[in-house]
C-alpha cells in the first residue's frame, strides 16, 4: 500500500491531538507525520504509535513534500498557510471555517457527499461540528423525501471551545463547591450550573455565526439550495459530545416507523429510541467514539410533514478530527 507524508497544522491543540490519535486508530498509511504549531510549542515531544515526534514550526517551508495537511488551526492561520500548502502540491483538509463557503472548495461529510471530494483544487473543508452531527442524523430522511426546513436547538459541550473549556468547567465546579467565586475566561459567563444561549457573534438578524452555519453549510453539503434553517445554539455544562434537538420538515410525509428504519440503516448512525425503557442518546454515551446516536423520533405536532429528532455526537471526533481523517481517506482512494 502506498504511504503518505502527512502534516497536522495546529497539532498541539485538542483537535490536532485527536487527529493524531485517529490516524493511528484507523491505520492511515502514514510514512511520515509532521506536527506543526506556533513557535511557543516548537520542540515539544509528543508520543505517537511506537515513536516520539517533535513539534516543528508552522512555516511555508514545512509543507514541502507533504501529500496531505490536516488543518486544526484558527481561520487566520488556515488562510495564511493555504497558498503554501497548495503550492507544495499537498491536499489541505481544513477544520476551520475559513474556506467552507468558498464555491471552489468542497465542504464534505463522507457519509453524505463523498463525491464532492473529487472537485477539490487543493483545499477541502471540514464542516462545523454541530452541522456534522445534525446532518449525519437526518440525511437518511433527505434521501427519502427532500428536507425543506429545519428548526434546531443545540446543546453544545464545553470542549467545543477547545481544551480550555472543560478545564474552566471543572475549575468552576470545584471553586463553587468550596464557596469561592469564579472568574470566567473561556466563556463570557460562568458555565458551571448554567447555560449560555450565545455561541459566536451576531451574524444575521439576531442569529449568531454558529447558528447560521447549519443553514449555510447544510445547503452546500446536502445540495439543497433552498433549505431554510432556524437554529439556537446553547453552551451547556457538559464536558464532551454535542446534543441537538431537530424538527425536520420534509416535502412528503415520512412516518415515525419509516424514519426509524432509515436512520437505523444510515451510515454513521445508531438508532437509540425506546422511551418506555429510558433509552435515548446522551452525551456520556456518545463521547470518545464516532457514531451519531439518534432517538426520541416522533411526529411534530405543529406540521403534517414534520418529525422531531434528538441526536448526540462527539464533536471533537466525528464533529472535527475523525471527519477530517475520513476525508483524507477519500482523497487517497482517488
User: What is the distance in angstroms between the CA of the first residue and the CA of the last residue of the chain?
Assistant: 14
Cell of 18: 485527536
The active-site residue, picked from 34, 120, 129, 269, is: 129
Q: Helix 129-144 and helix 256-265: axis angle, to 10°?
A: 120
Distance from C-alpha of 271 to C-alpha of 293, rounded to nearest angstrom: 6
Position of cell 497536522? Answer: 8
- 53: cell is 515526534
How many CA within 13 A on the CB side of residue 220?
25
Kind and range of the H or E run holding 323: helix 322-333
Q: Give bridge partners of residue 127 from the DSSP assignment.
A: none
Residue that the C-alpha cell 462527539 belongs to: 314
Q: How many CA atoms lie within 13 A of 321 on its CB side?
A: 26
Angle in degrees, CA 231, 233, 236, rounded to 5: 150
Residue 129 a catalytic site member: yes
Nearest to 245 by CA among 301, 296, 314, 305: 296
- Residue 167 grid cell: 478545564
> Which of 233, 242, 269, 311 is flagged as catalytic?
242
Angle formed by the axes of helices 209-222 and 129-144, nearest 10°:
40
User: Phi and psi (nearest 5°) for 19?
Assistant: -60, -40
Closest CA to 141 of 49, 260, 30, 41: 260
269 is catalytic: no
All residues at 6 or more sequence positions from 230 whose CB lies less than 8 Å from its CB, including other chains: 149, 150, 151, 152
Catalogue the active-site residues: 129, 242
Amino acid at each position: 500500500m502506498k504511504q503518505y507524508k502527512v502534516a497536522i497544522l495546529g497539532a498541539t491543540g485538542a483537535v490536532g491531538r485527536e487527529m493524531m490519535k485517529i490516524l493511528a486508530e484507523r491505520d492511515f498509511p502514514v510514512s511520515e507525520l509532521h506536527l506543526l504549531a506556533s513557535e511557543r510549542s516548537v520542540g515539544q515531544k509528543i508520543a505517537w504509535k511506537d515513536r516520539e515526534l517533535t513539534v516543528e514550526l508552522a512555516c511555508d517551508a514545512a509543507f514541502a513534500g507533504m501529500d496531505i495537511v490536516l488543518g486544526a488551526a484558527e481561520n487566520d492561520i488556515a488562510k495564511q498557510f493555504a497558498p503554501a500548502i497548495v503550492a507544495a502540491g499537498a491536499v489541505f483538509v481544513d477544520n476551520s471555517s475559513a474556506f467552507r463557503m468558498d464555491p471552489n472548495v468542497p465542504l464534505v461529510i463522507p457519509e453524505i457527499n463523498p463525491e464532492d471530494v473529487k472537485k477539490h483544487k487543493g483545499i477541502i473543508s471540514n464542516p462545523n461540528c454541530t452541522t456534522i452531527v445534525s446532518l449525519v442524523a437526518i440525511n437518511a430522511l433527505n434521501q427519502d423525501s427532500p428536507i425543506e426546513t429545519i428548526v434546531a436547538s443545540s446543546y453544545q459541550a464545553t470542549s467545543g471551545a477547545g481544551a480550555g473549556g472543560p478545564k474552566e468547567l471543572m475549575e468552576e465546579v470545584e471553586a463553587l463547591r468550596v464557596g469561592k467565586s469564579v472568574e470566567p475566561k473561556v466563556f463570557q459567563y460562568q458555565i458551571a450550573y448554567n447555560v449560555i444561549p450565545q455561541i459566536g457573534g451576531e451574524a444575521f438578524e439576531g442569529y449568531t455565526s454558529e447558528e447560521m452555519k447549519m443553514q449555510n453549510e447544510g445547503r452546500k453539503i446536502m445540495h439543497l439550495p433552498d433549505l431554510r434553517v432556524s437554529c439556537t445554539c446553547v453552551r451547556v455544562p457538559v464536558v464532551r459530545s454535542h446534543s441537538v434537538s431537530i424538527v425536520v420538515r420534509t416535502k412528503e410525509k415520512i412516518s415515525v416507523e419509516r424514519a426509524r428504519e432509515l436512520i437505523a440503516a444510515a451510515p454513521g448512525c445508531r438508532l437509540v429510541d425506546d422511551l418506555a425503557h429510558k433509552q435515548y442518546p446522551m452525551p456520556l454515551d456518545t463521547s470518545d467514539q464516532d457514531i451519531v446516536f439518534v432517538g426520541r423520533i416522533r411526529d411534530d405536532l405543529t406540521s403534517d410533514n414534520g418529525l422531531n429528532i434528538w441526536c448526540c455526537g462527539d464533536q471533537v471526533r466525528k464533529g472535527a478530527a475523525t471527519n477530517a481523517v475520513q476525508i483524507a481517506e477519500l482523497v487517497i482512494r482517488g
